[in-house]
Chains A and B, each alone.
Chain A
Amino acid sequence: MIDLAIPAPRDPPSPAGAPPALAVEGVTHAFGTRKALDDVSLTVPRGSFTALLGPNGAGKTTLFSLITRLYDNRSGSIRVLGHDVRREPAAALSRLGVVFQARTLDLDLTVTQNLVYHATLHGIGFGRARRQVLDVLESVGLADRARDKVRQLSGGQMRRVEIARALMHRPELLLLDEPTVGLDIGSRAALVAEVRRLIAREGIGVLWATHIIEEIEAGDRIVVLHQGRVRAQGAHAEVLAAGRAPDIPAAFLALTSASEEAERREGQA
């Protein structure tokens, strides 16, 4: 009975015809007259690391709010593993794990208590959740801190606990909103490596929002978001081609400043 609430074993990575981990199509979202997102379409294939690259204010957090259904998209569609977030929110949200930009752990509770609480929100019973805690903590290398209060952890460790928490209900899509903000270089690299290992092992799709270009590797998919619009997306080489640049930093700069220039010209005309 309880088992039903837990995501079923996931499909093999990218079988032919299976829906991608995340498919956003033609999503526009405005707050008043300000368009935070303008006709955004992007895909996160299963088992991929997709970097959502954009400067501050590009619309990354708005996009995350729509995917996690804090509020609804008015236009376009957002599908998690083929489930429309608006039409089948339960099916979509149960396949989704999120690490928000802001810290969202209860500092006065222990690591285990935080994880068990999250599991119950997904309908996983206390007993089963407790058994699962060590598993997920082990996968982020924190099994020995299970009984500690969150307050006693370092910033990097808290982030890893948040990732462990997002994995408690075995999601097939993991969203991370600038997870490395405020971390030192060492913990930042460790965190990125951790998530990459998860992809290799579990085949989940990851959407990693960031403005730190060093976190991207050659095999990643990249989506460049700027002022609410997708400026380029695809494999490394495709983004380089779109930006007509030799490396990602240059391409990113070209894609984000060229558009600004064009808009300025448009504004003057």
Chain B
Amino acid sequence: MRPGRPLPSAELRGDVGVWLSAACLALCIALAAGIVVVLVRAGLGPFWPQPVVELVLRDQQRLLGEIALEEGDAWILRTSETARPSDGYVRVRRAEVLQVDRPADAWVLLHADGRRSYRRAAQAPEPGATNIVAADPRNALSFGEKVASFGRNLRAYAAGGTGEGPGMLPALAGTLVLVLLMSVIVMPIGIAAAIHLHAYAGPGRIGRLVRGAVGSLAGVPSIVYGVLGLGLFVHGIGGSIDRWFYADRLPVPTFGAGGLLWAALTLALLTLPVVVVTVEEGLARIPVAQRLGSLALGATQGETLRALLLPLARPALLTAWILAIARAVGAVAPLMLVGVVKLAPSLPLDTEFPYLHPSRQFMHLGFAVYDNALASPDALVGVPHAYASALLLVGLVLTLNAAAGLVRKRLRDRYRAFES
């Protein structure tokens, strides 16, 4: 501060700081809440039964269907699909519409081949006659029936089939298996590395160098790990395995193509720095008196680690695991290089021996978001599905976090006396 310019009073300066920081915090909360609201609205909204409308046009033509989208001065109307799913969209200019009705006798029919059609009828159409698998009098539904219909729609979409694509379960299962396999790989390696850094590497120059290197690895973009996984695991190791053990099947690759195992290894590489840094910090937080107390009773370094330090560091291990999951679930880009697919013919985990199939390609929620949003044949259905997948992904991460957080809290309570 230059002389001659009076300092604002301490209270005022404090106030500005308080307001500024509060505003920033409010912005953060608003953003987080906004994401959730958008995902819930856009992801779940389309499953809520929309009213069926009948548009009467200037030329006396009548169109029966659901308004899928309002686009400036026009509506996109989803009408009966005649040949295949999603071929019934009609663009209607508002100026041409004379009248909008909501006929109470309108029926929405779902056909066995996934088509949807709309019809006005006094009675429920004969099931089976025209391959109808479901029919509902949309505009006559009560609120309770709408809720039930919402639940049915959601369940049908999640389970897949009936023209709605593969559903969410394969992608959910793929994501879960991938994350768990990744955890099984990364946690032991990361913990062992952290133990070595903490207990044996010491604070010297090499230790500092290694710590710095591990820290910067955490900042490498995930796609770089994808390329590494493609070159090292898929083509390098996978290719070699194929040449040695599956030569009779070549050129059809067995392990030489992207698959669950390579994706899990790639994600393990990606999350390793986070695990190492977090676990080492956890070990460093344990009071020295505990370590010395154990050593003074004739325990070796290794015995002290096993009997005392690792149990005490369990909250940190859980934190490391949570952070690894968070980073792994969010990394979709590298997966595209090492084995994720839009539609996998079979799950990586099933009832067929050996139950877990590490060479299989798999589906992933994060990829489903991308694929639905950009590459769906029916954009008007795909985008809401992208939101629904994103919502499920967020739900999955929050559930895993909450579970780990609960366990961590219980551990913390047990060791609370050591935190002081």
* A complexed with B: no
Partner-A contacts on B (CB < 8 A): none
